[in-house]
Amino acid sequence: MIPAGFEYHRPTDTASAISILQEHGDEARVIAGGHSLIPMMKLRMADLAHVIDLQDIQEMKGIEIGADSVTLGAMVTQHELITHDGLAAAVPIIREAALQIADPQVRYMGTVGGNVANGDPGNDMPGLMQCLDASFELVGPDGTRTVAARDFYEAAYFTAREDEEIMTRIMIPVPAAGVGQAYEKQKRKIGDYATAAAAVMVGKGSASVAMTNLADTPIWSEAASAALAARDVEGCVAAMLDAIDPVEDNRGPVEFKKHVAAIMLRRAIARAISRAG
């Protein structure tokens, strides 16, 4: 319950936040909504000398809806994702998934950037962003670079982000009109990470399929996506079952997770197809 002491910083622009990160190296970490980091600090699984609060950095906020692309500031909260009607019209799967994350209080604080940058395979947004073929803007001492969501995750809590970089924005291509979307999640109760969850987009001769918490990273499968694009549902499920690598934990043994994964995927496919134009 009681975190270790730290020095607190609240910069008002990204450059200042990065210079504090550079000054303190491993000893410093940024805090966004704080709803993964603070629980870890309370259990003393994270012990930091410097905490850099991003809440006053305006350039990391806001949702921009363009004709071809949606841009989310990394500090946009789950609550803001859910209540933004323009976003729900452009990319409805985001609201559908965000409503399956955590609970109301956590969604007021937890941010989309924190969710995708955290690196916990339990988080829902990483798989969703891979399904959507989103890309992440990272700003560091040497400037700005962009990494595809599909290239970002290396292992549990290991991502392509360097220690001195901050994720500032998420860019999402707007799916074509008539592309059906669905996020289907099996969990033990409200607020639980998924036993298995599937993000599916299908329609207009294309498809994209990703799954959550069935390996030490989210899993986007090119083979499963190609099969679904050809409307080969069983081929899609078989390819995805081949791509995942779940481990036994208190959500169940490996065989059960594979069973649930197939069910979630089939349900998400059915719902996405029913929504496709």
Partner 1 sequence: MSKMHVKLNVNGREVEGLAEPRTLLIHFLRENLRITGPHIGCETSHCGACTVDLNGKSVKSCTVFVAQANGAEVTTVEGLVNDDGSLGVIQEMFREHHGLQCGFCTPGMITRAHRLLQENPTPTEEEVRFGMAGNLCRCTGYQNIVKAIMASADMLNAQKEAAE
Q: Give the binding site for partner 1 (CB under 8 A).
A: 1-8, 10, 31, 34-35, 38-39, 41-43, 51, 53, 55, 79, 102-106, 108-109, 190-191
Minimum CB–partner distance for residue 206 and partner 1 (Å):
33
CB 197 within 8 A of CB 264: yes
Q: Residue-wise over 237-267: b if at least 16 C-beta within 10 A, else e?
A: bebbbebbebeeeebbeeeebbebbbebbbb
| Residue 120 CA from chain centroid, whole number | 9
Minimum CB–partner distance for residue 243 and partner 1 (Å):
31
Phi then psi dihedrals of residue 252, to 5 deg: 135, 170
Residue 215's identity, in one-letter code, is: A
Q: Residue-wise over 191-208: b if at least 16 C-beta within 10 A, else e?
A: eebbbbbbbbbbbeeebb
Bridge partners (DSSP) of residue 55 are: none
Q: Is 5 exposed, middle or buried (0-12, 13-18, 19+ CB in 10 A)?
A: exposed
Minimum CB–partner distance for residue 166 and partner 1 (Å):
17
- In the complex with partner 1, which residue's Cβ is closer, 10 or 204? 10
- In the complex with partner 1, which residue's Cβ is closer, 55 or 71? 55
- In the complex with partner 1, which residue's Cβ is closer, 79 or 169? 79
- In the complex with partner 1, which residue's Cβ is closer, 108 or 256? 108
- In the complex with partner 1, which residue's Cβ is closer, 177 or 190? 190
Minimum CB–partner distance for residue 126 and partner 1 (Å):
20
Minimum CB–partner distance for residue 222 and partner 1 (Å):
36
